[in-house]
Structure 1
Amino acid sequence: MFETILDEEERGQVGIGTLIVFIAMVLVAAIAAGVLINTAGFLQTQAEATGEESTAQVSERVQVVSQSGVISDDAAGSGEKGIGSLEFVVASAPGAGNVDLDEVTAELVGADGQETFQLQDNPPVTDVNIFTNGNDNVLTDNSDRAEVSIDLEALNDPYELTEGDSLTVTFTTAAGASTTTEIRVPTTLVGENSDSVRL
Protein backbone atom coordinates (compact mmCIF):
# COMPACT_ATOMS: atom_id res chain seq x y z
CA MET A 1 0.00 0.00 0.00
CA PHE A 2 2.75 2.47 0.94
CA GLU A 3 5.85 2.70 -1.15
CA THR A 4 8.98 2.50 0.84
CA ILE A 5 11.66 4.98 -0.18
CA LEU A 6 15.01 3.41 0.34
CA ASP A 7 17.15 6.14 -1.19
CA GLU A 8 17.76 8.89 1.44
CA GLU A 9 18.38 11.61 -1.21
CA GLU A 10 15.02 10.96 -2.85
CA ARG A 11 13.29 11.17 0.51
CA GLY A 12 14.72 14.70 1.14
CA GLN A 13 13.59 15.96 -2.27
CA VAL A 14 9.97 15.01 -1.51
CA GLY A 15 10.12 16.95 1.77
CA ILE A 16 11.54 20.06 0.09
CA GLY A 17 8.83 19.99 -2.59
CA THR A 18 6.11 19.80 0.05
CA LEU A 19 7.71 22.66 1.96
CA ILE A 20 7.84 24.82 -1.18
CA VAL A 21 4.15 24.17 -1.89
CA PHE A 22 3.28 24.96 1.74
CA ILE A 23 5.24 28.26 1.68
CA ALA A 24 3.59 29.23 -1.62
CA MET A 25 0.14 28.61 -0.11
CA VAL A 26 1.02 30.71 2.96
CA LEU A 27 2.27 33.57 0.75
CA VAL A 28 -0.88 33.52 -1.39
CA ALA A 29 -3.06 33.51 1.74
CA ALA A 30 -1.06 36.39 3.24
CA ILE A 31 -1.35 38.48 0.08
CA ALA A 32 -5.12 37.80 -0.15
CA ALA A 33 -5.54 38.72 3.54
CA GLY A 34 -3.58 41.94 3.01
CA VAL A 35 -5.79 42.92 0.06
CA LEU A 36 -8.94 42.17 2.07
CA ILE A 37 -7.73 44.18 5.07
CA ASN A 38 -6.79 47.17 2.88
CA THR A 39 -10.15 47.04 1.09
CA ALA A 40 -12.04 46.78 4.39
CA GLY A 41 -10.12 49.76 5.79
CA PHE A 42 -10.83 51.84 2.68
CA LEU A 43 -14.54 50.95 2.77
CA GLN A 44 -14.74 51.78 6.48
CA THR A 45 -13.13 55.19 5.91
CA GLN A 46 -15.43 55.91 2.99
CA ALA A 47 -18.50 54.82 4.98
CA GLU A 48 -17.53 57.08 7.92
CA ALA A 49 -17.04 60.07 5.60
CA THR A 50 -20.36 59.42 3.88
CA GLY A 51 -22.11 59.08 7.25
CA GLU A 52 -20.65 62.35 8.52
CA GLU A 53 -21.66 64.20 5.33
CA SER A 54 -25.18 62.73 5.44
CA THR A 55 -25.56 63.67 9.10
CA ALA A 56 -24.34 67.20 8.38
CA GLN A 57 -26.83 67.60 5.53
CA VAL A 58 -29.65 66.66 7.88
CA SER A 59 -28.64 68.33 11.15
CA GLU A 60 -26.32 71.26 10.24
CA ARG A 61 -29.17 73.62 9.43
CA VAL A 62 -30.86 76.70 10.80
CA GLN A 63 -34.45 76.80 11.93
CA VAL A 64 -36.69 79.83 11.68
CA VAL A 65 -38.00 80.82 15.11
CA SER A 66 -40.11 83.75 13.92
CA GLN A 67 -40.65 85.81 10.79
CA SER A 68 -42.02 89.29 10.25
CA GLY A 69 -42.05 92.06 7.68
CA VAL A 70 -41.67 95.82 7.69
CA ILE A 71 -44.55 97.66 6.02
CA SER A 72 -43.75 99.97 3.11
CA ASP A 73 -46.28 102.39 1.60
CA ASP A 74 -44.48 102.09 -1.74
CA ALA A 75 -43.29 98.44 -1.91
CA ALA A 76 -40.42 98.18 -4.43
CA GLY A 77 -41.63 101.39 -6.12
CA SER A 78 -44.98 99.84 -7.06
CA GLY A 79 -47.04 102.58 -5.43
CA GLU A 80 -48.86 99.89 -3.43
CA LYS A 81 -48.71 99.08 0.25
CA GLY A 82 -46.63 95.99 0.92
CA ILE A 83 -43.58 94.56 2.64
CA GLY A 84 -40.28 96.42 2.20
CA SER A 85 -38.04 94.08 4.16
CA LEU A 86 -38.21 90.70 5.85
CA GLU A 87 -36.92 89.93 9.34
CA PHE A 88 -36.21 86.38 10.54
CA VAL A 89 -35.09 85.21 13.95
CA VAL A 90 -33.10 82.00 13.40
CA ALA A 91 -31.39 79.41 15.59
CA SER A 92 -29.31 76.33 14.91
CA ALA A 93 -31.31 73.10 14.64
CA PRO A 94 -31.10 70.46 17.38
CA GLY A 95 -27.94 68.40 16.95
CA ALA A 96 -26.24 70.98 14.75
CA GLY A 97 -22.67 72.10 15.34
CA ASN A 98 -21.45 75.63 14.72
CA VAL A 99 -23.38 77.33 11.91
CA ASP A 100 -21.65 80.29 10.23
CA LEU A 101 -24.42 82.59 9.02
CA ASP A 102 -22.01 84.37 6.65
CA GLU A 103 -21.89 81.13 4.62
CA VAL A 104 -25.67 80.63 4.55
CA THR A 105 -27.39 81.11 1.19
CA ALA A 106 -30.88 82.60 0.94
CA GLU A 107 -33.17 81.85 -1.98
CA LEU A 108 -36.38 83.80 -2.59
CA VAL A 109 -38.99 82.32 -4.93
CA GLY A 110 -42.26 84.10 -5.65
CA ALA A 111 -44.33 85.89 -8.26
CA ASP A 112 -41.41 88.24 -9.07
CA GLY A 113 -39.11 85.31 -9.88
CA GLN A 114 -36.12 83.87 -8.07
CA GLU A 115 -33.31 85.63 -6.22
CA THR A 116 -30.34 83.81 -4.62
CA PHE A 117 -27.52 85.31 -2.55
CA GLN A 118 -25.28 84.63 0.43
CA LEU A 119 -26.18 86.46 3.61
CA GLN A 120 -22.74 88.11 3.74
CA ASP A 121 -22.65 89.11 0.06
CA ASN A 122 -25.04 92.00 -0.18
CA PRO A 123 -25.03 94.48 2.68
CA PRO A 124 -27.19 96.50 3.13
CA VAL A 125 -29.51 93.99 1.41
CA THR A 126 -28.98 91.60 4.30
CA ASP A 127 -28.01 92.28 7.86
CA VAL A 128 -27.21 89.65 10.50
CA ASN A 129 -27.25 90.39 14.24
CA ILE A 130 -26.34 87.72 16.80
CA PHE A 131 -28.25 88.30 20.03
CA THR A 132 -26.27 86.18 22.45
CA ASN A 133 -22.62 85.46 21.65
CA GLY A 134 -21.08 88.55 20.08
CA ASN A 135 -20.63 89.72 16.51
CA ASP A 136 -18.93 86.77 14.80
CA ASN A 137 -22.17 85.67 13.03
CA VAL A 138 -21.70 82.05 14.15
CA LEU A 139 -24.42 80.15 15.99
CA THR A 140 -22.47 78.00 18.46
CA ASP A 141 -25.28 76.73 20.67
CA ASN A 142 -28.98 75.86 20.32
CA SER A 143 -29.80 78.76 22.62
CA ASP A 144 -28.12 81.31 20.29
CA ARG A 145 -30.47 83.49 18.26
CA ALA A 146 -29.77 85.78 15.33
CA GLU A 147 -31.88 88.28 13.43
CA VAL A 148 -31.51 88.13 9.65
CA SER A 149 -32.94 91.13 7.77
CA ILE A 150 -33.45 91.04 4.00
CA ASP A 151 -34.20 94.38 2.33
CA LEU A 152 -36.43 93.45 -0.63
CA GLU A 153 -36.27 96.96 -2.08
CA ALA A 154 -32.44 96.99 -2.17
CA LEU A 155 -32.03 93.78 -4.20
CA ASN A 156 -30.58 94.01 -7.72
CA ASP A 157 -34.14 93.56 -8.98
CA PRO A 158 -36.30 95.06 -6.21
CA TYR A 159 -38.73 92.40 -5.04
CA GLU A 160 -42.35 93.51 -4.97
CA LEU A 161 -44.26 91.86 -2.14
CA THR A 162 -47.69 93.47 -1.81
CA GLU A 163 -50.92 92.57 -0.04
CA GLY A 164 -52.03 88.97 -0.65
CA ASP A 165 -48.69 87.86 -2.15
CA SER A 166 -46.72 84.83 -1.03
CA LEU A 167 -43.00 84.08 -1.07
CA THR A 168 -40.91 80.99 -0.34
CA VAL A 169 -37.61 81.60 1.46
CA THR A 170 -35.01 78.82 1.68
CA PHE A 171 -31.90 79.06 3.87
CA THR A 172 -29.11 76.63 2.91
CA THR A 173 -26.04 76.19 5.13
CA ALA A 174 -22.51 75.44 3.94
CA ALA A 175 -23.11 71.74 4.72
CA GLY A 176 -26.01 71.71 2.25
CA ALA A 177 -28.85 71.45 4.78
CA SER A 178 -31.90 73.50 3.82
CA THR A 179 -34.76 75.09 5.73
CA THR A 180 -37.75 76.43 3.82
CA THR A 181 -40.36 78.82 5.16
CA GLU A 182 -43.43 80.30 3.52
CA ILE A 183 -44.21 84.04 3.70
CA ARG A 184 -47.85 85.04 3.21
CA VAL A 185 -48.70 88.71 3.23
CA PRO A 186 -52.19 89.41 4.63
CA THR A 187 -54.74 90.62 2.09
CA THR A 188 -55.08 93.78 4.17
CA LEU A 189 -51.98 95.20 5.88
CA VAL A 190 -52.88 97.09 9.03
CA GLY A 191 -50.22 99.57 10.13
CA GLU A 192 -48.22 102.58 9.12
CA ASN A 193 -45.05 102.86 7.03
CA SER A 194 -42.08 101.15 8.84
CA ASP A 195 -44.36 99.22 11.21
CA SER A 196 -43.54 95.57 11.73
CA VAL A 197 -46.12 92.89 11.02
CA ARG A 198 -45.90 89.18 11.80
CA LEU A 199 -46.04 87.00 8.67
Structure 2
Amino acid sequence: MMTNNIEDDQGSIGIGAMIVFIALILVAAVASAVIIQTAETLQQNAQSVGDDTQEEIAGKVQLHGAFYAAAGDDVHLIFSLAPGSGTILTTAIKFQVYCNDDTNVFVQDAGDFDDEDILTLDGGTTLTAGTAGNSVSAGVKYYISVTLVNCALDDVQTGWAASLHDGSIILNMHVDGGGSTMEILDASGTLNEGDSVL
Protein backbone atom coordinates (compact mmCIF):
# COMPACT_ATOMS: atom_id res chain seq x y z
CA MET A 1 0.00 0.00 0.00
CA MET A 2 1.05 3.45 -0.82
CA THR A 3 1.09 6.26 1.61
CA ASN A 4 0.43 9.80 0.59
CA ASN A 5 2.27 12.40 2.52
CA ILE A 6 0.33 15.59 2.70
CA GLU A 7 2.31 18.59 3.77
CA ASP A 8 0.44 21.04 5.95
CA ASP A 9 2.21 24.40 6.34
CA GLN A 10 -0.69 26.19 8.04
CA GLY A 11 0.95 25.92 11.46
CA SER A 12 4.19 27.55 10.33
CA ILE A 13 2.27 30.50 8.87
CA GLY A 14 0.48 30.99 12.22
CA ILE A 15 3.76 30.91 14.16
CA GLY A 16 5.36 33.38 11.75
CA ALA A 17 2.42 35.77 12.11
CA MET A 18 2.65 35.52 15.91
CA ILE A 19 6.40 36.32 15.83
CA VAL A 20 5.75 39.37 13.64
CA PHE A 21 2.92 40.47 15.96
CA ILE A 22 5.12 40.16 19.08
CA ALA A 23 7.94 42.04 17.33
CA LEU A 24 5.53 44.88 16.45
CA ILE A 25 4.38 45.08 20.08
CA LEU A 26 8.01 45.25 21.29
CA VAL A 27 8.89 47.99 18.76
CA ALA A 28 5.80 49.97 19.76
CA ALA A 29 6.70 49.64 23.46
CA VAL A 30 10.27 50.85 22.87
CA ALA A 31 9.05 53.73 20.68
CA SER A 32 6.49 54.83 23.27
CA ALA A 33 9.13 54.69 26.03
CA VAL A 34 11.43 56.92 23.96
CA ILE A 35 8.59 59.36 23.22
CA ILE A 36 7.58 59.54 26.90
CA GLN A 37 11.20 60.10 28.00
CA THR A 38 11.67 62.84 25.36
CA ALA A 39 8.44 64.55 26.43
CA GLU A 40 9.55 64.52 30.09
CA THR A 41 12.95 65.99 29.19
CA LEU A 42 11.36 68.73 27.08
CA GLN A 43 8.93 69.57 29.90
CA GLN A 44 11.76 69.82 32.45
CA ASN A 45 13.80 72.04 30.12
CA ALA A 46 10.79 74.27 29.45
CA GLN A 47 10.13 74.61 33.20
CA SER A 48 13.78 75.50 33.84
CA VAL A 49 13.84 78.09 31.05
CA GLY A 50 10.54 79.52 32.30
CA ASP A 51 11.88 79.88 35.85
CA ASP A 52 15.08 81.53 34.60
CA THR A 53 13.09 83.93 32.42
CA GLN A 54 10.78 84.83 35.29
CA GLU A 55 13.79 85.63 37.50
CA GLU A 56 15.34 87.75 34.75
CA ILE A 57 12.19 89.76 34.13
CA ALA A 58 10.77 89.98 37.64
CA GLY A 59 14.00 90.66 39.54
CA LYS A 60 14.84 93.81 37.62
CA VAL A 61 15.07 97.56 38.24
CA GLN A 62 13.13 99.97 36.02
CA LEU A 63 14.51 103.50 35.73
CA HIS A 64 11.85 106.22 35.42
CA GLY A 65 14.06 109.29 35.61
CA ALA A 66 17.62 110.55 36.05
CA PHE A 67 18.34 114.17 36.96
CA TYR A 68 21.39 116.41 37.27
CA ALA A 69 22.37 117.62 40.74
CA ALA A 70 24.00 121.05 41.00
CA ALA A 71 27.07 119.66 42.76
CA GLY A 72 27.83 117.84 39.53
CA ASP A 73 28.89 114.63 41.28
CA ASP A 74 25.42 113.27 41.95
CA VAL A 75 22.69 111.94 39.74
CA HIS A 76 19.20 111.65 41.19
CA LEU A 77 17.44 108.44 40.11
CA ILE A 78 13.74 107.60 40.21
CA PHE A 79 13.29 103.82 40.03
CA SER A 80 10.97 100.94 40.80
CA LEU A 81 11.09 97.18 40.56
CA ALA A 82 9.66 95.42 37.53
CA PRO A 83 6.10 94.10 37.88
CA GLY A 84 6.03 90.67 39.45
CA SER A 85 9.20 91.24 41.45
CA GLY A 86 9.31 90.23 45.07
CA THR A 87 10.97 92.23 47.82
CA ILE A 88 14.67 92.83 47.05
CA LEU A 89 17.36 93.88 49.52
CA THR A 90 19.05 97.17 48.67
CA THR A 91 22.43 95.42 49.01
CA ALA A 92 21.37 93.13 46.12
CA ILE A 93 20.96 96.05 43.69
CA LYS A 94 24.30 97.01 42.15
CA PHE A 95 25.18 99.79 39.74
CA GLN A 96 28.06 100.30 37.34
CA VAL A 97 28.69 103.51 35.44
CA TYR A 98 31.03 103.88 32.44
CA CYS A 99 32.05 107.07 30.68
CA ASN A 100 34.84 109.13 29.17
CA ASP A 101 35.86 111.92 31.55
CA ASP A 102 36.88 115.54 30.92
CA THR A 103 40.20 114.39 29.39
CA ASN A 104 38.54 111.62 27.31
CA VAL A 105 39.89 108.85 29.56
CA PHE A 106 37.59 105.85 29.98
CA VAL A 107 36.61 105.59 33.67
CA GLN A 108 33.96 103.88 35.78
CA ASP A 109 32.13 103.98 39.10
CA ALA A 110 30.38 101.15 40.93
CA GLY A 111 28.46 100.51 44.11
CA ASP A 112 25.16 99.24 45.44
CA PHE A 113 21.90 100.91 46.34
CA ASP A 114 22.67 100.49 50.05
CA ASP A 115 25.44 103.13 49.81
CA GLU A 116 22.91 106.01 49.87
CA ASP A 117 19.58 106.78 51.54
CA ILE A 118 16.54 105.71 49.53
CA LEU A 119 13.21 107.49 49.85
CA THR A 120 9.80 106.48 48.60
CA LEU A 121 8.71 109.01 46.00
CA ASP A 122 5.86 110.17 48.22
CA GLY A 123 8.42 110.91 50.97
CA GLY A 124 6.69 108.61 53.43
CA THR A 125 9.56 106.19 54.02
CA THR A 126 13.33 106.62 54.21
CA LEU A 127 15.67 103.64 53.97
CA THR A 128 18.84 104.80 55.72
CA ALA A 129 22.08 103.83 53.97
CA GLY A 130 23.91 100.88 55.48
CA THR A 131 20.98 99.64 57.56
CA ALA A 132 20.80 95.84 57.58
CA GLY A 133 17.70 94.39 55.96
CA ASN A 134 16.69 97.44 53.89
CA SER A 135 14.53 96.29 50.99
CA VAL A 136 12.43 97.69 48.17
CA SER A 137 9.15 96.28 46.85
CA ALA A 138 7.37 96.20 43.50
CA GLY A 139 4.64 98.77 42.90
CA VAL A 140 6.46 101.59 44.72
CA LYS A 141 8.61 104.31 43.13
CA TYR A 142 11.81 105.24 44.92
CA TYR A 143 14.33 108.09 44.85
CA ILE A 144 18.09 107.73 45.36
CA SER A 145 20.93 110.19 44.83
CA VAL A 146 24.00 108.32 43.59
CA THR A 147 27.42 109.95 43.97
CA LEU A 148 29.69 109.50 40.95
CA VAL A 149 33.38 110.13 41.51
CA ASN A 150 34.98 109.23 38.18
CA CYS A 151 31.93 109.76 35.96
CA ALA A 152 30.77 112.99 37.59
CA LEU A 153 28.29 114.67 35.25
CA ASP A 154 30.25 117.96 35.31
CA ASP A 155 33.44 116.19 34.17
CA VAL A 156 31.66 114.34 31.37
CA GLN A 157 29.96 117.57 30.29
CA THR A 158 33.37 119.34 30.22
CA GLY A 159 34.75 116.63 27.93
CA TRP A 160 31.70 116.97 25.69
CA ALA A 161 32.12 120.79 25.56
CA ALA A 162 35.73 120.28 24.45
CA SER A 163 34.45 117.99 21.64
CA LEU A 164 36.34 115.02 23.09
CA HIS A 165 33.31 112.70 23.15
CA ASP A 166 29.49 112.65 22.88
CA GLY A 167 28.76 113.18 26.59
CA SER A 168 27.10 109.82 27.13
CA ILE A 169 27.27 107.85 30.37
CA ILE A 170 26.34 104.16 30.47
CA LEU A 171 24.43 103.17 33.62
CA ASN A 172 23.98 99.47 34.37
CA MET A 173 21.84 98.27 37.27
CA HIS A 174 21.98 94.61 38.27
CA VAL A 175 19.94 92.59 40.76
CA ASP A 176 21.80 89.66 42.34
CA GLY A 177 20.20 86.50 40.93
CA GLY A 178 17.90 88.60 38.74
CA GLY A 179 17.98 90.79 35.66
CA SER A 180 19.98 93.78 34.50
CA THR A 181 18.94 97.17 33.16
CA MET A 182 21.09 99.42 30.97
CA GLU A 183 20.35 103.09 30.37
CA ILE A 184 22.37 105.79 28.61
CA LEU A 185 22.55 109.10 30.43
CA ASP A 186 23.23 112.27 28.44
CA ALA A 187 25.56 114.87 29.97
CA SER A 188 25.88 116.94 26.79
CA GLY A 189 24.69 120.52 26.59
CA THR A 190 24.17 122.98 29.42
CA LEU A 191 23.21 121.28 32.68
CA ASN A 192 21.20 122.96 35.42
CA GLU A 193 19.87 121.61 38.71
CA GLY A 194 17.05 119.16 38.06
CA ASP A 195 17.66 118.76 34.31
CA SER A 196 16.81 115.31 33.00
CA VAL A 197 19.83 113.37 31.77
CA LEU A 198 17.88 110.30 30.71
Q: What residue in structure 2 maps to residue 77 of structure 1?
A: none
Equivalent AA in structure 1 for residue 94 of structure 2: T
Alignment of 1:62-141 (within 5 A): 62-72=61-71, 83-112=72-101, 113-115=106-108, 117-119=110-112, 126-129=115-118, 131=120, 136-141=133-138
Equivalent AA in structure 2 for residue 147 of structure 1: Y
Partner Cα separation in structure 2 for residue 169 and residue 160 of structure 1: 12
1:78-104 alpha-carbon deviations (Å, 9 max, x no partner): xxxxx1222212101334444444223
Question: Do the aligned partners of 1:67 and 1:89 also contact (CA within 8 Å) in 2?
Answer: yes
Does 1:176 pair with 2:179?
A: yes
Q: Which of residues 137, 159, 167 is equivalent to 2:151?
A: 159
Output the TM-score relative to the length of structure 1: 0.64
Equivalent AA in structure 2 for residue 117 of structure 1: A
State the 1:23 CA deviation.
Answer: 1.8
Equivalent AA in structure 2 for residue 45 of structure 1: Q
Question: Do the aligned partners of 2:109 and 2:151 also contact (CA within 8 Å) in 1?
Answer: no
Equivalent AA in structure 2 for residue 115 of structure 1: Q
State the 1:6 CA deviation.
Answer: 7.1
Output the TM-score relative to the length of structure 2: 0.64
State the 1:53 CA deviation.
Answer: 2.9
State the 1:56 CA deviation.
Answer: 4.3
Moved over 6 A (4+): none
1:46-105 alpha-carbon deviations (Å, 9 max, x no partner): 123324434543454222233234333xxxxxxxxxx12222121013344444442233
Number of aligned residue pairs: give it: 168
Partner Cα separation in structure 2 for residue 188 and residue 12 of structure 1: 100
State the 1:19 CA deviation.
Answer: 2.5
Q: What residue in structure 2 maps to residue 25 of structure 1?
A: 24
Question: Do the aligned partners of 1:56 and 1:177 also contact (CA within 8 Å) in 2?
Answer: no
Q: Quickly say closer, same or farther: Cα 1:133–1:70, change in 2 above 3 A.
A: closer
For structure 1, the 5+ residue unaligned runs are 73-82, 190-195
Question: Do the aligned partners of 2:74 and 2:152 also contact (CA within 8 Å) in 1?
Answer: no
